[in-house]
Amino acid sequence: MEKTLIELQALTKTYGRGDAAFQALKGVDLTIHKGEFVAVMGPSGSGKSTLMNLLGCLDTPTTGSYMFEGIAVETLNKDQRSLLRRHALGFIFQGFNLLARTSALENVELPLLYRGYTRSQRHEMAREALRSVGLGNKERNTPAELSGGQQQRVAIARAIVTHPGTLFADEPTGNLDSKTTLEIMELLCRLNDERNITVLMVTHEDEVAHYAKRIVHVRDGLIGSDVINEDRALRNTPAATH
Amino acid sequence: MFWNALIIALREIRRNLLRAFLTVIGVVIGVAAVITMVTLGNGATEAMKEGISKLGNNLLTVRPGQGWGPSASPLFSRTDVEMIRQQVPGIKHITPLSNTTVQAIYQEQARQTDVQGVYPEYFPISNWKISSGRFFDISELNTGEPVAVIGETIKKELFMGEDPIGKRIRLLNTAVTVIGVTEVKGLAGWGDDLDDNIIIPITTLQSRLNGQMFKQNVNQIMISTIDGYPTDGVMTDIAALMRERRNLARTVQDNFSVTDSRQVAEVMSSSIKIMTSLLGAVAGASLLVGGIGIMNIMLVSVTERTREIGIRMSIGARAREVMAQFLVEAVTLSCVGGLAGIGLAYVACYFLAPMSGAPFHFDPKINIIAFVFSAVIGIVFGFMPASRAAKLDPIEALRHE
């Protein structure tokens, strides 16, 4: 087994105060190891988005502890969490979240701008990332000139350009058709397998979840089930078909 | 971090050039207005000073009555002039000036002009230079010769390019011979044509033009003082002497006035300076409004770009980096606006300066001040939008539609 990447203990998150308070997470314990591909599933309102925001260091828990690579995330301030995201995490969103009117290359370069690379280093790394998602010939195109699948691949290139150890994907195929979904999922599997990037993915589609090696169900702010997806986990190769 | 913020800000500006243009237009106009107002004002001050110095340096003028307008106070006589010359120390040159407006005629051409009867000392006092011919001298003054020195305008209007030297002009029923033409002085600061005059010996004016009727007809006395001699003392001495000569009782006000051209110049240029500052302040207010325009659009753009800010934060931008991006963007825009404003002001001054009659002096100081001010405006008015952007919560910002 690979070493522990994430360890949650009795994690809770409460929004609001007093009568209006709403407990979105009611004490979650979860351990994720390096190199895993975890799908987080659950109906809306189950707390899965809250859980992902906490895992992605975008938010802080109300109580409980969150260790990320030995760092107690709940003790970090806003800037320290920003730096943690910058250096260790990559994000992929349902709505792609690319900058409009900006070329694919510049979109992919964006995280590098905050890491102090020179212009030529940025270009080289961004081109490399675009090639690795199969868009080496689209670096000048703006999001409006790309299909949904291509946009999501640009977003993936942006997420992996800094070589993060962990990738957070929030409904990465939610806006895509089934054929494109297949492409994107295979790309994520390949990153997981070939680069040993840990992938944490939120989805509500069983078909998408089946690409993951491990499926966690969240229900009413608690972990409902946590199962190994044997099809994927044992073969350790991308699912050719579903 | 600053360098990165600059790259990011420049990319954002390039991404939406129309928005950038709308943001800076207020600053462009504000900076241009400030610079144009101050430049034209300074030009007017210069023009005024130059105009005064054309009339002569260290120049004291004794006029009848108080103030500038016409008055019923008695005029002066040539005896007054001689008494002042003899009794007041510090005087370099002194001349009576008796002037009258008459029709000057040469062959078919005629022109109403100012005829000045003076001593030869008038030429150095009033800074006249000769361009052709000569001035008249003391012997011609003593004998009251019918000779005249004319200004360039008279030469042009009456002689139409002919050489006027030796020609005779009719003034009323007297003919005078032109012996010299003065160098061009141009316009005075207040727009009078200083070259539209005929200068003749005062004796000629008094005996031939006005007849013997007005023995006392010296309209004013002009005096230049010795360089470095305090003019205040000279002025007091002249006043005391004139009071004595006129037997004015202690309680009676002076019925004449002594003015120093330099004081006049100072008063005039200081009033123009006040006008310039006022206009500059009004223009400054428009620059301020331009700054508020920047803040306005930046605030809107922070709202509009909430999602972008969320993306940046999720990939690891710290609050201070988001802040720096927006601040640098505001400052860059206002600096670009400042530069464009300087350019616009240059064009405006180039075309407006001749219209206002003021020389075109492009003062680097006011340009630098206006530019720095526009940069400061970028910082001040960019701060609020920038800190608002920096305070956004990444999750909320990402969810923003």
ipTM of this complex prediction, to 2 decimal places: 0.90
Burial of B186 (0-12, 13-18, 19+ CB in 10 A): exposed
The answer to whether the CB atoms of B11 and A102 lie below 8 A apart is: yes
The answer to whether the CB atoms of B318 and A79 lie below 8 A apart is: yes
The answer for residues whose C-beta is within 8 angstroms of residue A110's C-beta and 6 or more apart is: A99, A158, B311, B312, B315
Question: Is the minimum CB–CB distance between A110 and chain B shorter than 8 Å?
Answer: yes
Encoded tokens for B60: 């004291």
Which pLDDT does position A239 carry in this prediction? 47
Assess whether pLDDT exceeds 50 at residue B274.
yes
Beta bridge partner(s), residue A9: A65
- In chain A, residues with a C-beta closer than 8 Å to the C-beta of B11 are 102, 106
| Chain centre to alpha carbon of residue B275 | 11
- In chain A, residues with a C-beta closer than 8 Å to the C-beta of B313 are 82
Fill in the amino acid letter for B114: D
What domains can be seen in chain A, in order of their start residue? 36-47+78-235 (3.40.50.300)
Q: How many CB atoms neighbour CB B72 within 10 A?
A: 7
How many alpha carbons lie under 13 Å from residue A60 in its C-beta half-sphere?
A: 14
Q: How many helices (H) does chain B have, and how many strands (E)?
A: 13, 10
Confidence category of residue A236, pLDDT binned at 50, 70, 90: low
The single-letter DSSP state of residue B357 is: T
Residue of A nearest to B394 (CA): A58
Confidence category of residue B399, pLDDT binned at 50, 70, 90: confident
Nearest CB to A86 within list B8, B316, B395: B316
SS3 A200: strand
Confidence category of residue B216, pLDDT binned at 50, 70, 90: low
* Distance in Å, alpha carbon of B302 to nearest chain A alpha carbon: 14
Assess whether pLDDT exceeds 50 at residue A241.
no
Beta bridge partner(s), residue B100: B115
Q: What's the mean pLDDT in B71-94? A: 88
The answer to whether the CB atoms of B318 and A116 lie below 8 A apart is: no
Fill in the amino acid letter for B46: E
- Per the CB < 8 A criterion, the answer to whether B195 and B153 are in contact is yes
Q: Which of B309, B322, B2, B317 is nearest to A84 (CA)?
A: B317
* Distance in Å, alpha carbon of A14 to nearest chain B alpha carbon: 15
The answer to whether the CB atoms of A86 and B310 lie below 8 A apart is: no
What is the count of residue pairs from A and B with beta carbons less than 8 Å apart?
63
Lowest mean pLDDT across A79-88, B90-99, B114-123, B278-287: B278-287
B270 vs B266: CA distance, rounded Å: 6
How many residues are recorded in chain A? 242
B79 vs B76: CA distance, rounded Å: 8
Quick one: angle between helices A178-194 and A148-160, nearest 10?
A: 20
Encoded tokens for B263: 């004081």
pLDDT digits (tens, 9 = 90+) for A102-131: 999 999 999 998 888 889 999 999 999 999
Confidence category of residue B14, pLDDT binned at 50, 70, 90: confident
The single-letter DSSP state of residue A144 is: G
Question: Is the minimum CB–CB distance between A22 and chain B shorter than 8 Å?
Answer: no
The answer to whether the CB atoms of B395 and A59 lie below 8 A apart is: yes
Assess whether pLDDT exceeds 80 at residue B298.
yes
Encoded tokens for B91: 């005087």
* Distance in Å, alpha carbon of A131 to nearest chain B alpha carbon: 21
- In chain B, residues with a C-beta closer than 8 Å to the C-beta of A158 are 315
Mean of per-residue pLDDT scores for chain B: 86
* Distance in Å, alpha carbon of B15 to nearest chain A alpha carbon: 6
Parallel, antiparallel, or unpaired for β A214-219 and A222-228?
antiparallel
Q: What's the mean pLDDT in B308-329? A: 91
- Phi/psi class of residue A200: alpha, beta or left (left: φ > 0; alpha: ψ in -120 to 50)? beta
Confidence category of residue B356, pLDDT binned at 50, 70, 90: low
Interface test with A, best of B15, B315, B325, B399 (most A CBs within 10 A): B315
Most confident of A67-76, B40-49, B156-165: A67-76
Question: Is the minimum CB–CB distance between A149 and chain B shorter than 8 Å?
Answer: no
Question: Is the minimum CB–CB distance between A121 and chain B shorter than 8 Å?
Answer: no
Confidence category of residue A165, pLDDT binned at 50, 70, 90: very high
- Per the CB < 8 A criterion, the answer to whether A225 and A48 are in contact is no
* Distance in Å, alpha carbon of B396 to nearest chain A alpha carbon: 10
Which pLDDT does position B297 carry in this prediction? 87
Encoded tokens for B341: 């404003």
Fill in the amino acid letter for B256: F
Assess whether pLDDT exceeds 70 at residue B190.
no
Encoded tokens for B281: 């302040």
- Per the CB < 8 A criterion, the answer to whether B175 and B168 are in contact is yes
Nearest CB to B314 within list A91, A100, A102: A91
Fill in the amino acid letter for B30: G
Q: How many CB atoms neighbour CB A226 within 10 A?
A: 14
Residue of A nearest to B316 (CA): A86
B225 vs B287: CA distance, rounded Å: 47
Parallel, antiparallel, or unpaired for β A37-41 and A4-15?
unpaired
* Distance in Å, alpha carbon of B42 to nearest chain A alpha carbon: 47
Beta bridge partner(s), residue B222: B61, B95
Confidence category of residue B215, pLDDT binned at 50, 70, 90: low
Nearest CB to A58 within list B16, B320, B395: B395
Q: Which of B191, B186, B192, B196 is nearest to B356 (CA)?
A: B191
Query: What's the predicted TM-score (pTM) here?
Result: 0.72
The answer to whether the CB atoms of B315 and A59 lie below 8 A apart is: no
The answer for residues whose C-beta is within 8 angstroms of residue B211's C-beta and 6 or more apart is: none
The single-letter DSSP state of residue A209 is: H
- In chain B, residues with a C-beta closer than 8 Å to the C-beta of A84 are 316
Nearest CB to A58 within list B314, B317, B319: B314
* Distance in Å, alpha carbon of A234 to nearest chain B alpha carbon: 33
* Distance in Å, alpha carbon of B287 to nearest chain A alpha carbon: 31
Residue of B nearest to A142 (CA): B15
The answer to whether the CB atoms of A116 and B317 lie below 8 A apart is: no
Encoded tokens for B154: 């008279």
B301 vs B293: CA distance, rounded Å: 12
* Cα A104-A107-A110 angle, rounded to 5 deg: 150
* Distance in Å, alpha carbon of A223 to nearest chain B alpha carbon: 22
- In chain B, residues with a C-beta closer than 8 Å to the C-beta of A102 are 11, 15
The single-letter DSSP state of residue B166 is: T
The answer to whether the CB atoms of B316 and A101 lie below 8 A apart is: no
- In chain B, residues with a C-beta closer than 8 Å to the C-beta of A77 are none
- Per the CB < 8 A criterion, the answer to whether B136 and B110 are in contact is no
Question: Is the minimum CB–CB distance between A163 and chain B shorter than 8 Å?
Answer: no
Nearest CB to B311 within list A53, A83, A99: A99
Question: Is the minimum CB–CB distance between A82 and chain B shorter than 8 Å?
Answer: yes
Nearest CB to B313 within list A82, A87, A116: A82
Q: Which of B339, B323, B341, B340 is nearest to B379 (CA)?
A: B323
- In chain B, residues with a C-beta closer than 8 Å to the C-beta of A106 are 11
Q: Which of B367, B369, B378, B373 is nearest to B342 (CA)?
A: B367
- Per the CB < 8 A criterion, the answer to whether A123 and A112 are in contact is no
